[in-house]
Amino acid sequence: MEFESKKKWKSVLPRLFKNKSASRCFFPKVKPATFSPSCTPVYLNVYDLTPMNGYIYWAGLGIFHSGVEVYGVEYAFGAHDYPTSGVFEVEPRQCPGFKFKKSIFIGTTSLDPHQVRDFVERYSERYNGDTYHLIVKNCNHFCDDICQKLTGKRIPRWVNRLARIGTQLHS
């Protein structure tokens, strides 16, 4: 399956750094027209699962769904009754049934769009919909695994804190 860009974005970087060299990556809200493989941002998009999160978030708790955004595609994991992949893709920050909360920059990947898609397709075999479990194998676990593989960095601990607490109580 080929990667297709649905939108064309103009970069503001050429104007900002005209006649200057930049030694590190900058990630404007405007996506560049061409992607530098060594500097492609990976984001974690976090969604509220319940309006109660607005109250318990400040206590360090919450129930969240998450997806990994890279190259304008968001990958996430969900449950279903079949022994096939539960990984799906959506428009970034538009996951149906959830209220978008925030996008968190995790790091960068050196993979190009085709390599990312191939990687997610291969890796999704480990995440069948009938193996989804709220405490030990949920969407946040999937995102943490994907982020670690793409960037070498983990997702923030607060995103899956209730599952970790559940694991301790379940033991």
pLDDT recorded at residue 58:
74
In a domain, 27, yes or no: no
pLDDT recorded at residue 32:
43
Given the residues 95, 139, 143, 147, the one annotated as active site = 139
Residue in the block written with tokens 């960095």: 153
Query: 31: how many CB neighbours lie within 10 A of its CB?
Result: 16
CATH number at residue 78: 3.90.1720.30
In a domain, 20, yes or no: no
pLDDT recorded at residue 106:
98
Domain assignment of residue 125, given as a range: 42-170
Q: In which residue ranges of the chain is pLDDT below 50?
A: 1-33
Given the residues 25, 39, 65, 133, the one annotated as active site = 65
DSSP state of 68: E
Residue-by-residue DSSP string for 107-143? EEE---HHHHHHHHHHHGGG-BGGG-BTTTB-HHHHH
pLDDT recorded at residue 47:
97
pLDDT recorded at residue 51:
84
Whether the Cβ atoms of residue 85 and residue 120 lie closer than 8 Å to each other = no
Element (H, E) at 148: helix 139-151
How far CA 91 is from CA of 8, 45, 99, 130, in Å, comes to 15, 11, 14, 24
In a domain, 129, yes or no: yes
User: Catalytic: 114?
Assistant: no
pLDDT recorded at residue 146:
98
pLDDT recorded at residue 117:
97
Separation of alpha carbons 45 and 147, rounded Å: 12
In a domain, 7, yes or no: no
Domain count, the chain: 1
User: Catalytic: 65?
Assistant: yes
In a domain, 26, yes or no: no
In a domain, 19, yes or no: no
Model confidence over 66-109: pLDDT tens digits?
A: 999 999 999 999 999 999 999 999 999 999 999 999 999 999 99
pLDDT recorded at residue 44:
98
Contacts of 79 (CB under 8 A, 6+ apart): 86, 129, 130, 132
In a domain, 140, yes or no: yes
In a domain, 22, yes or no: no
Separation of alpha carbons 90 and 93, rounded Å: 8
pLDDT recorded at residue 61:
82
